[in-house]
Structure 1
Amino acid sequence: MTRDIHPAPQALVSEGAVLLDLHADGVAHIRLNRPDAANGLDLELLQALHAVTVQVHGDGRVRAVLITGEGKNFCAGGDVHAFLSKGEALPDYIRTTTAYLQMVAQLLMRLNAPVVSAVHGYAAGGGGMGLVCSSDLVLAGVSAKFLTGATRVAMVPDAGVSVTLTQLVGFRKAMELLLLNPVIDAATALSMGLISRVVPDDRLVEEAMGLARQLAAGAPAALANTKRLLWNGIGQGVDACMPEENAAQARLSGMADALEGLSAVIEKRRPVFKGR
């Protein structure tokens, strides 16, 4: 009988909106766990993701991090149903959720352990694209799709994407993606530098875990310092933009256009924006 060379992981967080397993080789596996909502980000999930990321940051056993999503999608962005349900309280809700998302993005960039994200289905909006843009390496299944999506609902990018996306794909391409919101397939995302590799859908998690294990076996101080040097090159711009992103997001979410945009997404129709 063939012996499994990888023993079962230790479940550090086994229930809730975000799950966390620690493998014996030092790979921490973070799983977004709202599959019925396409792992859309609401306040509960963001608070859980922040708590798990802080937990990983403080665990000296962690040598690499893998982020995946349960269900059919990696992360379809903010939960538009939760947003729309807040009514006049939406700006306060957006201010809070955006702050948590920004803290998560900053933590991922600052973790000593390299972060690998494995994207299947959609990575969209501030959540999906925010996690992609703040990861160190990103693998995508061949059928994966990417969408910035913020201006589609009369809002702005967050999680530092207004800086990180520009660094990844260039100013002109970032402007096109953020203003026009095209759906990008995995091959195009690879060619523009948004992601690291494209792999067969049925091998995505296996390939991503293999990459995380390769990183976990590397020299931890060298990888941590190399990662820090690279992120520090754009870190000042990211840190400076996040408060402005947060303020703009809260301000815009109080406008009628934002409610129209959210309604249009839910109703699968073209929005009619009136500039107010």
Structure 2
Amino acid sequence: MTENANVDAQTHPDEGPVLLEWRDDGVALVHLNRPESANGMDLELLRALHAVLMRVHGDGRIRAVLITGEGKNFCAGGDVHTFLSKGEALPDYIRVVTSTLQAVASLMIRLNPPVVTAVQGYAAGGGGMGLVCSSDFVVAAASAKFLAGATRVAMVPDAGVSVTLTQLVGLRKATEILMLNPVIGATEALSMGLVSRVVADDRLHDEALALAQQLAQGAPAALANTKRLLWSGVGKSVEQAMPEENHAQAMLSGTADAREGLAAVIEKRAPRFTGR
């Protein structure tokens, strides 16, 4: 537990896919807690994350939110093992998973308290990149890496990334990231505007928490309204883009190429797409 944390056992269970820690200083710590799967997102984790964020949303004592991932990686995206196991039922599962992820991203954007995300290891796929792009501040460890990855498994970006990433890094760079799937190091991510700060690996938690604490000491209404103005200034709203993403994702997840892409990730090989 973090020093000086005020922990309620009812809101911070000892186990589960997402843990919530309430602190006396007004910071809520949200921990993704599937380290054995690199915090890969399945429906259970996403529903738990949405429920935790709703609890934060309904508590006026919370002045800032810090999202972290347990283990070596922040979030490796969707749980490809779960996805591939669904077989022909994958489109129905993806439709619900994508909708839930979109609800999480939208809630992060609409929370009154600013959201700080701390990234170690990989932030990949719609889950990892989606949370990064929906955060107000992102602190990355020096060794952190970022990967879009959706088209690599014959799918499309989701969580509003087709809008938020473009807003952060520009159309040309977003096109390169989403279509070519380069692995982006922390320094490059900082230079393009994908993250806010890069810190030494062993300083990640302390630096991210210090930033959240600094925000928690600010004027809540002023920060909340500034955040709202910034996000509403995006030309096309994230909510307008999300239904299109959801439809395309569910449709593509039913293709042979999507199943091949998921299998290739698990088997650590290059995919062989056939256009089916």
TM score, norm. by length of structure 1? 0.97
What is the rounded CA distance, in whole Å, between the counterparts of 1:57 and 1:10 in structure 2? 18
- Equivalent in the alignment of 1:52: 52
Does 1:7 find its partner at 2:14?
A: no
Give the partner amino acid of 2:107: L
More deviation, 232-241/175-184: 232-241
Identity score, percent: 74
Aligned-partner SS, 2:74: coil
How far apart in 2 are the matches of 1:20 and 1:178? 32
Tell me which stretches of 4 or more aligned residues in structure 1 moved more than 2 Å. Answer: none
Cα displacement string for residues 19-40 of structure 1 (whole angstroms, at most 9, x for unaligned residues): 0001001100000000000000
Partner of 2:86: 86
What do you get for the CA RMSD once the two structures are aligned? 1.1
Alignment of 1:1-276 (within 5 A): 7-11=4-8, 12-14=11-13, 15-234=15-234, 236-276=236-276
Per the TM alignment, residue 236 of structure 1 is displaced from its structure 2 partner at its CA by 4.2
Q: Distance in 2 between matches of 1:260 and 1:252?
A: 12
- Over 3 Å counting, the alpha-carbon distance change for 1:235 and 1:63 in structure 2 is farther
Give secondary structure in 2 for the equivalent of 1:157: coil
Q: What residue identity is the alignment partner of 2:50?
A: H
CA displacement, residues 41-61 of structure 1 (integer Å, 9 cap, x when unaligned): 001000100100111100111
Q: Aligned with 2:20: secondary structure? A: strand
Quote the offset at 1:217 in angstroms: 0.4
* Mapped contact 2:5–2:22 kept (Cα < 8 A): no
SS, match of residue 194 in structure 1 = coil
* Amino acid in the other structure paired with 2:179: L
CA distance, structure 2, for counterparts of residue 224 and residue 235 of structure 1: 20
State the Cα distance separating 1:239 from its structure 2 match.
1.0
- Secondary structure, counterpart of 1:77 in structure 2: coil
Equivalent AA in structure 1 for residue 105 of structure 2? A
1:238 CA drift (Å): 1.0
Indicate conservation of the 8 Å contact 2:117/2:137, yes or no. yes
Residues in 1 aligned to 2:75 and 2:174: alpha-carbon distance in whole angstroms: 20
How many correspondences in the alignment? 272
AA at the equivalent of 1:31:
H
Q: Deviations over 1:72-123 (max 9, x none)?
A: 0000000000000000110000000000000000000000000000000000
Structure 2: gaps of 5 or more residues = none
Aligned partners of 1:72, 1:7: CA distance in 2, in Å?
Answer: 25
CA shift digits 1:154-174 (9 cap, x unpaired): 000000000000000000000
